[in-house]
Structures are given as C-alpha cells and as structure tokens.
Amino acid sequence: MKDQRKQSHELHIRVAAHCYVHKYRQKSGNFGIRVIQRHRGREMSEPRSVRDIDLAPTAGKKYWSCEREWREEFIYFLMVDRFHDDLQRQAVTGSGRSASRGTREQLRRFCGGTLRGITRNLDYIRDLGCTAIWLSPIFENDDAPDRNAGSYHGYAIRNYLSVDPRFGTKLDLIELVEEAHKREMRVFLDAVANHCGDVWYYQGDVPYYYSDDHRLYPVAGWRHPDYPVPVELRNPDYYHRRGQIRDWGWDSFPETQWGDFFSLKGFNNDENPAGLELQEIIIAAHRYWIREADIDGYRMDAVKHMGEIAVARFCQAMREYACFLGKRQFFLFGELVGGDDAINRYTGPNTPGRVGDKTIFYGLSSVLDFPLYWILPGVIKGFTPPMNLVNRYEALRERALNRGELGRYLVTFVDNHDQIGQNYKRRLAAGAWDEQVIAAIGYLICALGTPCIYYGTEQGSAGEGPSDEFIREPMFDLNDPQKNFLNKDCRIYSEVSKITAVHRNYPALRFGRMYFREISGNGWDFGFPRGHPCTLAFSRILAEEEILVAYNTSTSERRRDHIIVDCGLHSPGDKMRYLYGSQGEASVERHPDLHNGSVSVQLDLAPMQFVILR
C-alpha cells in the first residue's frame, strides 16, 4: 500500500477526452487534486493560488468586444442549476403555459442544470429577443447537503478559481461564451465578493450572531483541508468574524457590512492591511475569468454589505483589465436592495462621494432597480395606484443628465430569484393573466433602463410558496427525462419576442426620453390616472420620433381614452401606426378648446391590451 502511494505522487488520471486529473501530495501529507483540461491543444490547469494565475492576454486570442450600450441590452437571468440539464429533451408544445413541477425536497437540492445545457439552448434565449445572459454564480460551492440547501443557487462559494463540477468545467464555460458571442450575445457572471461559503466555523460549530462592533470571534476550524481557494483565503484575518447579521441589522451600519450573511462568512474588505490584501485576492480571481472565458461583465452581489471603497476598487480593477484585453463596454451592475436614496449614490453622474477623507467614485455601470420592482407588478395587475409609478420616475429626474441618459443607470425587472423581504414568495405570473405578464415585460422593454427577464417568466412559470425554492423551478421536467419547457409556441414567449423585435427596430425605445402621458375619457379634461382601471401610457421621444406605449389595466372593460402626444411632432390629422398589439392607425386630434394647443390620439383597448404606436 505504501509503495502504491509513492507511485501515485505524480499520477495523471484521464477523465474525459479533454480533461484529466493530476493527483499530488501536499506539504501536509494529504493528497490534493488539480483538474487539468485541454482546449484547442492548450493545456489549462486550474490554479489554487493567486500566485498561479496568469493575467497576461492569452497568446493569439482576440478578445470579443461589443459596441452596444448597456441600455440596448435585454438580459436573460437564469439559475444554472434550473435552466437545462445535459439530456437531449424535446420541448412541450402549444400556446398555453409550460408548467414546471417539483416537490419541495427536489427543489431544495441540485436539480441537474449545466453550462452545456445552456449552450445547447442558446437559440431559445436569442429568439426570445435577449441579447445578454446573466448566469447565477458558477464557481465551486459548499457540498454538504445539510448546509445551504446543497448550495444549488451558487452563492456559497468555496473555490473562486474553478467551475462547480456539478455545472461543468472551465471548458464548458469557455464554449458557452464563445457560442453566445457568435450570436452577438453578451455573458455576465455573478460576482460574490462580499462573502464566501460556510468554509469555516465558530466555536462549537453553532451559529454566532453580531453583538458588538469591536468583538471578533476566532475561527474554530476549517471545514475541509483543501478549501477555500485561492489558498490565500485560509487566513482568519481576511474575515470579519463578528457573527451573523441580526434581523434588525440589515440596514444598520456597521453591522450590515461587518456581519456574516446568514451562515456565509463575510470577508474583511475594509481599508486595513488584511482587508487590502483580501481585496487584491478577490480582484485577481475575478480578473482571471475575464482572461480565461472572455466574459462581458459582472453582476455584483450584496453591494451595500461591502465597504464603499472596496466596491469602487473592484469595479475600477475589472473595467481597466477588460480594457487592457481590448474589451469595451464591460458591464458592472450591482444588487443594492433599497430605495432611491440608497441606490442614487452608486450610479450616474452624481455619484462621487466621500468616505472619511477620501472622495470615491463607485464605478458601477448600473444597479438593479428595486424601487421599480416594488411598484410595477402591482400597477400592471391593478393593485397599486398608477401615480406611484409616475412619482417613481419624477423622483429620478435629479439623477439624470437628460431623461434618455437615465436609462443607462438602471437594470429593470419585475421578478427575481429571492424576492428579498417577502415572507411568502410569489412569481409574477402566479395568479396573473397571460396578458398581464406580457404587459409587464413589454413595459420593461419599452421603458427607460436595461430590461431583465427572470428565466421561466416567458413560459408563465407561476411558482409560489413560503421559501425561495418555490420560485426557482427548473425548465426541464424532473420526472420525465424526455421533456423540457423551452416552448417557443407559448403565447407569452411569442408575444415578448414580437415586442423585442419592435425594440430592436426603433432607436427611440432604446435611447429616447420618457414621458408619462395624461389621459382623458371625454377628450377635454386630461390628467394622470389616479386609480384603476385606467389607461397607462408613456412616450419615448428621440429627436423627431415619438413612440407611444399604452396599456389598459382593466381585466374586464374596454377603454377608449384619449392620450396626449407631443404637439411639436404631431399635427391634427396625422396618423400614428400600430407597431404592436393591434392593426391600423390612430388619428391625431386637436383639443376641443381652440385656445389649448395640445393634441391627442384616442385608443380603443380591450381588457389588458398592450400596444405600441409610432
């Protein structure tokens, strides 16, 4: 047995046509595993230390660059474990919703989705009209089934330098990005730089909670001899070690930045010697994936829980390195759960601020628009006053150089994977009509911002329940290996793809100023809608072109409201043609009061009808 172990000191085990494992003896005497892969004849080993990372541009490689602005994208956000597995499946057919099924126990564990499953179905995402893909975290996660529900979500990282083997390999990621680029699609990864997985434990291996700003607890032990990776992260000083954030501490400084994110272990990314070393390690690890896989951006998780200067340093480092490789428009958008006061200082032209005696610029391209997410679904479904939506945009005007530029700084959405702050989780389509789902996504596509659709929404996925797994349904049948739910005939999918075609063809919907429009039932008295049902309408104006978007919020009544349009661009007798949602034209009419120079169009809208006119 001893002789056999000596011989295995440099053992190479071939595990696939392009991959083998190098087994080596560590200084501790334990055996380690390093996966070595081949890509187009080039050997690609997986580093375990930042010292092993090569950040020089790959010889002979031309990195992909796209000139589209961020606000021109339509992002498809998917959870890797839930989109598609490695099986060859057939999509269900028909115009109805494609309902995914799974027990709570099934949904709390890995379901089997892979990077290759995404690659094989890129055309499904492209044909919906999406131009970018945002992947949930793909790096190797905790594997203990009794912690973090198996970490299928990806947010409990223990190895920042390797793809989680349950999702695939580095080569699978490279292939996915290459195939997406062939389709002119960007690929964004999820960056978890605030914390890592539950890689170590407190004394007694029981939960510790934040109690004192100055009280640090010791690391009682590491859960695995080979993790975390990079190996430099095996330093207790790189963690805050103050216990979990308490229920009342999520918006309380410094607890919100120094406390652990539940059982996940919060990094010390402060401006002290250990914190600066930690930041350089995290930066190197994320630069590595730009170099290796040619990705096009990062979504930054839990931004408000990081130190402000750490956010700025990370963003600047990623953007500069991407430019160094020849990649332009590298996209950095943050998850920042809060109202406008919280998110306003992180993006846009007014964001330089002071932290102590330092002036900083956060460097995020955009943030997820949680304030809109909290309002829009209710307005579309008739539960929330429409003026809340109007007021939300009015509150943003101070941030904008102009009303069109504002769209650069917000990633808009109406559904997501965790629905923070809600005790009962409920997807957009749960209890909603197809027409309401179409109108909600149509609104995002046509309004200011970079629209983002949560996977499955286009199929009417309607999960709901008391915890996250209920809104994270797989797009493949867990009980039938022959079937998936990537149904292009589904009515919601089909209608969204028609709206995205209009979005691509008319620049005003991507770059134009946005104005909510006053309406009138009698053609004389105009004003913003105050309640439901109503006609909700806004215009996008670019130079000499106006695009009008309108939606009837009623679920049962037709509405024939008059809608104000720009009198400088339209004259009485002009026609506005339907681009989506109806046929024919609407005539521009003069206001009955000859002293009133406004003009309007009258639209006849069926219940929940969504239309676009030019």
pLDDT at 39 over 60: no
- For 220-234, 402-416, 437-451, 525-539, which range has the lowest pLDDT when averaged over its residues? 402-416
Whether residue 396 contacts residue 404, with contact meaning beta carbons closer than 8 Å, is answered with no
Collapse the DSSP code of 205 into the 3-class scheme (helix H, G, I; strand E, B; otherwise coil) and give the result: helix
Residue 19's contacts (CB-CB under 8 Å, 6 or more residues apart) are: 35, 36, 37, 38, 169, 171
Task: Give the span between the Cα atoms of 392 and 274, in whole angstroms.
Answer: 41
What pLDDT sits at residue 144?
A: 62
Please give the distance of CA 501 from its chain centroid, rounded to a whole number: 22
pLDDT at 213 over 80: yes
What pLDDT sits at residue 359?
A: 65
- For 145-154, 215-224, 488-497, which range has the lowest pLDDT when averaged over its residues? 145-154
Q: Where in the chain is the domain with CATH 2.60.40.1180?
A: 513-613
Which band of pLDDT confidence, cut at 50, 70 and 90, is reported for residue 9?
Answer: very low
Whether residue 404 contacts residue 546, with contact meaning beta carbons closer than 8 Å, is answered with no
What pTM, to 2 d.p., does this model score? 0.91
Q: Is the dihedral of CA 251, 253, 257, 263 positive or negative?
A: negative
| CB count in 10 Å sphere of residue 217 | 15
Render pLDDT for 96-128 as a digit per residue (tens, 0 to 9): 998 777 888 899 999 999 999 999 999 999 999
What pLDDT sits at residue 394?
A: 82
Q: Tell me the residue ranges of DSSP E strands in 372-527.
A: 410-412, 425-426, 450-454, 464-465, 483-484, 513-516, 519-520
Render pLDDT for 550-575 as a digit per residue (tens, 0 to 9): 999 999 999 999 999 999 999 999 99
Task: Give the span between the Cα atoms of 265 and 226, in whole angstroms.
Answer: 17
pLDDT at 583 over 70: yes
Residues in the chain, total: 614
Q: How many helices (H) and strands (E) does the chain have?
A: 16, 33
Q: What is the CA radius of gyration of the chain?
A: 26
Whether residue 109 contacts residue 147, with contact meaning beta carbons closer than 8 Å, is answered with no
Task: Give the span between the Cα atoms of 519 and 2, in whole angstroms.
Answer: 85
What pLDDT sits at residue 361?
A: 67
Q: How far is CA 472 from CA 83, 113, 319, 488, in A?
A: 10, 12, 31, 20
What pLDDT sits at residue 123?
A: 98
- What would the 3-class secondary structure string for 326-379 be? CCCCCEEEECCCCCHHHHHCCCCCCCCEEECCEEECCCCCEEECHHHHCCHHHH
Q: Give the mean pLDDT of the chain.
A: 89
483 has which bridge partners? 90
Query: Tokens 């003896």 — which residue?
Result: 25
For β-strands 366-368 and 410-412, DSSP reports them as parallel
What is the rounded average pLDDT of the residues 498-503?
A: 98
Q: Tell me the residue ranges of DSSP E strands in 204-255.
A: 221-222
Task: Give the span between the Cα atoms of 192 and 405, in whole angstroms.
Answer: 28
What pLDDT sits at residue 351?
A: 55
Tokens of 361: 């610029």
Q: Rounded to the nearest 5 degrees, what angle is found at the Cα of 16, between the Cα atoms of 14 and 111?
A: 125
Residue 606's contacts (CB-CB under 8 Å, 6 or more residues apart) are: 552, 558
Render pLDDT for 433-485 as a digit per residue (tens, 0 to 9): 999 999 999 999 999 999 999 999 999 999 999 999 999 999 999 999 999 99
What is the rounded average pLDDT of the residues 209-237?
A: 96
Task: Give the span between the Cα atoms of 29 and 603, in whole angstroms.
Answer: 77
> In 211-329, where does DSSP find H-type helix?
255-258, 273-293, 308-325
CATH number corresponding to 73-189+272-505: 3.20.20.80
Task: Give the span between the Cα atoms of 480 and 89, in whole angstroms.
Answer: 9
Whether residue 136 contacts residue 454, with contact meaning beta carbons closer than 8 Å, is answered with no
Q: Is the dihedral of CA 430, 431, 437, 443 positive or negative?
A: negative
Task: Give the span between the Cα atoms of 417 and 136, in whole angstroms.
Answer: 10
End-to-end CA, the chain: 79
Q: Where in the chain is the domain with CATH 3.20.20.80?
A: 73-189+272-505
CATH 1.10.10.10 is held by the domain 513-613: no
Query: Tokens 């992260």 — which residue?
Result: 233
